Structure 1
Amino acid sequence: MKRLWIACGILALVFAATLYNTHYLSGFTNELTTLLTRAEIGAEDGDWETAGELTRQAVENWDRHAVYLHVLLRHTEVDDVNTSFQEVREFINCQEGGEYSAANARLIAQIELLYEAEQLTLKNVL
């Protein structure tokens, strides 16, 4: 009987950690997408300096969480986001409006998909 309670405790702990990770990732991805959306608005207004600064803040935030992300997420997804950040930064430096908008939209979608993939849903369990 003691083993049963230990196993239930371990399962409860893993479940709680999963819920915490999902909650944490939700806040983190929302923060990044907000910064990138604001950068897009700046770029549309021709304010490339603001777009660059907001994107830089998003990159720094992403880099601060790099270890956490590499431990808990698939490396290919994290690497894809890193590559997309570099692409977006280059389009900002060149002030290429159309290409920047497309690359930024793709980056935002990739970040949102990171959270969606970690949600506890039937689609993700099966």
Structure 2
Amino acid sequence: MRSCLTPIAILAAILAFALWNGSHMADSTDRWRDQLQQVDALAQAEAWTEALDALAESYEDWSERQTYLHIVAKHDSVDDAEAMYRRAMAFAATRELTEFRAELSDLRDQLRLLTEMERLDIKNVL
């Protein structure tokens, strides 16, 4: 019986971390998606300076979590979101509303996918 306790404790710790990670990732991506929604609203109102500033703040928030994201998420997904942030900033700088809104939409969807990949779900386990 005693020999079973160590593996059970390890599995419990892994499960606890997986649950915490999924929750933390959901909180972070929800915050970034909300920020991007506000950026989109500013761009639609043609407040480009404010939109670019808000996008830069969101990108800074995103950048502060890069180490964590690269540890727990697939690098390709994180790198794709990074590229989308940079393209969105370029479109905002040139005031290309259609391209900018499309890129923001893709970025929000990419962030949603990051959350899905970290959620404890049967399709992620199998």
| Residues 37-93 of structure 1: CA deviation (Å, up to 9, x unaligned) | 000000001011121111111110111001000011111111101100010000000
Q: Which residue of 2 aligns with 1:108?
A: 108
- One-letter code of the match for 1:10? I
Select between 47-56 and 9-18 the one with higher mean Cα deviation. Answer: 47-56
Distance in 1 (alpha carbons) for counterparts of 2:117 and 2:72: 11
| Residues 76-119 of structure 1: CA deviation (Å, up to 9, x unaligned) | 11110110001000000000000001011000000111001111
Distance in 2 (alpha carbons) for counterparts of 1:5 and 1:63: 40
Structure-2-length-normalised TM-score: 0.97
Where in structure 2 are the equivalents of 1:85-100 lying within 5 Å?
Answer: 85-100=85-100
Q: Which residue of 2 aligns with 1:66?
A: 66
Q: Which residue of 1 aligns with 2:11?
A: 11
For the residue of structure 2 that corresponds to 1:37, the secondary structure is helix
| Structure 1 stretches of 4+ moved >4 Å | none
5+ unaligned residues in a row in structure 2: which ranges? none
Q: Which residue of 2 aligns with 1:79?
A: 79
Distance in 1 (alpha carbons) for counterparts of 2:112 and 2:57: 17
Percent identity, please. 29
- One-letter code of the match for 1:118? E
Structure-1-length-normalised TM-score: 0.97
Q: Which residue of 2 aligns with 1:54?
A: 54
RMSD value, Cα: 0.7
Number of equivalences: 126
Distance in 1 (alpha carbons) for counterparts of 2:77 and 2:121: 19
Q: Which residue of 2 aligns with 1:29?
A: 29
